[in-house]
Amino acid sequence: MDEEALTLPGIDEGEILVIRSSRRKRNISAYRQGGRIVVSIPARMSKADERAIVPEMIAKIRATEGAKTPTESALAQRIDELLSELAPEITARPVSVTWRAMRERWGSCTGLDQTIRISDRLKLAPDYALDYVLFHEAIHLEHFDHGSAFNELLSRFEGSELASAYLDGYEAAERALAEPVELKKLRTK
Ligand SMILES: [Zn+2]
């Protein structure tokens, strides 16, 4: 986001951030940033036009994302591949793998009923980051804590540093976006 955009008042509706930018004379753009959809509209656009345009832009973004999002059965298949390849001694397979709106965690596994949930914040994540979370949760099918046996298995995942960096960066971006606009304005000085 450029500094000019930050100095303009935005209307925050949870996941949606509408920015009125004087620099964008005619352009309307929408993009995903952290966990939010940011819609940038010209500063002079009428409220009535905004009410019509913004939902349209959000629908477009969501449709594109939907096409790029792995299905839940694809997640289950990927877990099967990761376990077969990296941890063949784990023979358990999840009964279900589901996308779930989770802000505090990247994934969770209930060993008792063998179900795995993956945060919907990973829907557009690069493969290595999604794989890392899938593999982590899959190990929990047989190892409930983060003890030495768990860590030995997880260490077989190559690229865990890159994946951790992606996840940490995403969380940092979310925290930054959660701050009030006025506060961010002060910090850039
Ligand atoms: Zn864990």
Tens-place pLDDT, residues 4-37: 333 333 444 467 888 898 875 668 899 887 678 8
Q: What is the whole-number distance in angstroms between the Cα of residue 146 and the centre of ligand 1?
A: 6
Cα gap 66→3, rounded to integer Å: 31
CA–centroid distance, residue 158 to ligand 1 (Å): 17
Q: Domains of the chain, with CATH numbers?
A: 3-67 (no CATH), 72-174 (3.30.2010.10)
Residue 142 near residue 92, CB atoms below 8 Å: yes
Going by C-alpha positions, the residue among 125, 81, 80, 128 that lies closest to residue 99 is 125
Cα 108 to ligand 1 centre (Å): 7
Tokens for 4? 């000019």
Distance 145 CA to ligand 1 centre (A): 7
Q: How far is the CA of 67 from the centre of ligand 1 (A)?
A: 29
Residues 6+ away with beta carbon under 8 Å from 91: none
Long-range contacts of 84-87, Cβ-Cβ distance < 8 Å, separation of 24 or more: 86/135, 86/153, 86/156, 86/157, 87/135, 87/138, 87/139, 87/153, 87/156
Question: Quick check: 165 pLDDT over 90?
Answer: yes
DSSP 70: P
* pLDDT attached to residue 182: 57
- The Cα 97–Cα 72 span in angstroms is 6
Q: How far is the CA of 94 from the centre of ligand 1 (A)?
A: 15
DSSP annotation of 47: H
Distance from Cα 178 to the centre of ligand 1, integer Å: 25
Rounded Cα–Cα distance for residues 94 and 54 (Å):
39
User: Which of 152, 169, 150 lies closest to 161 in space, CA to CA?
Assistant: 169
**Residue 117 pLDDT class (50, 70, 90 cuts):** very high
How many A from CA of 38 to the centre of ligand 1?
A: 31
Q: How far is the CA of 47 from the centre of ligand 1 (A)?
A: 46
Look at residue 24 in the predicted model and tell me its pLDDT.
53
Q: Which amino acid is at 66?
A: G
CB contact set of 74 (below 8 Å; sequence gap of 6+): none
